[in-house]
Amino acid sequence: MNHVIEPCPVRTRKPRGQGASRRGEILDAAKRLFIEEGFAHATMRRIAAEVGVSPTAIYLHFADKDAILKAIAEDFFSELLVILRSTQHSTEPPLVRLRAGLRAYVSFGLERADEYRLTFNGPKDRDMSLATSCDEVDIANMSFDVLVSAVTGLIDAGIFRPADPVLVGESLWTCMHGVTSAAIDLQQRLQRDLWTLVDFSIDTLLNGLSCKA
């Protein structure tokens, strides 16, 4: 009886993909590794292996891990900017639009919790003498400008009392950032429904800014 000897399977790397597709694969792999294994342990070689490309190939897209982290933040803020702008282009009254933008910010942060942590806080084991990924991304300022523009309109309309729009914007953002961060990492400790907390926080902030306060 003749025995057919089957050839051993040959391990091959993934075929060279489209640039945008491969970039997305690298970012997805890096996000997983940054969160699960830590920034220090997620070497470029380790990320390349996760994607299934050679270490050399990954450098065609990113110079180093910090460049990958910046790209994660850029993608995060690009999507956030689209969502925030969409809340301000409705026919609703300006105060309703601002409220919608603040709620959308929290919702987006919850949906993209890993990117939110990496973008605003940086990986826990990253050298924090470096700027955080949020500080390095110009489009982050564009997202903040949407908030400042909405606040400016409310002040000009006499709905909010006179104040520095940037200061008001930073106050609103830091409060929403705190709520979002707590919702991501400490939600099990909250004694009330999350969105009840979100809406109560927004009401408290907006009522305090109102000319009727």
Domains and CATH numbers, the chain: 13-62 (1.10.10.60), 70-209 (1.10.357.10)
pLDDT more than 90, % of the chain? 64
pLDDT at residue 113, as a whole number: 92
Whether the CA torsion 91, 94, 99, 105 is positive or negative: it is: positive
- What pLDDT is recorded for position 189? 79
DSSP-assigned states of every residue in 2-20: ----PPPPPP-PPPP--HH
| SS3 state at 120 | helix
Q: What are phi and psi of 97, to 5 degrees?
A: -65, -40
pLDDT at 49: 93
User: Within 10 A of 60 (CB to CB), how many other CB atoms are there?
Assistant: 13
- Compute the mean pLDDT over every residue in the chain, rounded to the nearest whole number: 85
Reported residue count of the chain is 213
Neighbour tally for 29: CB within 10 Å: 21
Residue 126 has pLDDT above 90, yes or no: no
**Continuous segment of H or E residues that includes residue 157:** none
pTM of the model: 0.82
The reported pLDDT for the residue numbered 20 is 64
Instruction: For 41-56, write each residue's pLDDT tens digit.
Output: 899 999 999 999 998 9
What tokens appear for 136 in the block? 């390095």
Q: What percentage of the chain has pLDDT greater than the value 70? A: 83
- CA distance linking residue 83 with residue 107, whole number of Å: 10
Q: Which two tokens stand for residue 131?
A: 């700027």
Q: How far is CA 206 from the centre of its chain?
A: 24
211/55 Cα distance (integer angstroms): 59
Tell me what pLDDT residue 165 has.
Answer: 97
Range from 68-77, 120-129, 188-197 that averages highest in pLDDT: 68-77
Contacts of 129 (CB under 8 A, 6+ apart): none
Kindly state the average pLDDT of the residues 68-72: 92
Distance CA 161, CA 79 (A): 31
Which residues face 210 on adjacent strands?
A: 160
Largest CA distance in the chain: 96
Given a cut of 70, whether residue 132 has pLDDT beyond it is no
Using CA atoms, how far apart are residues 75 and 115, in angstroms rounded to an integer?
9
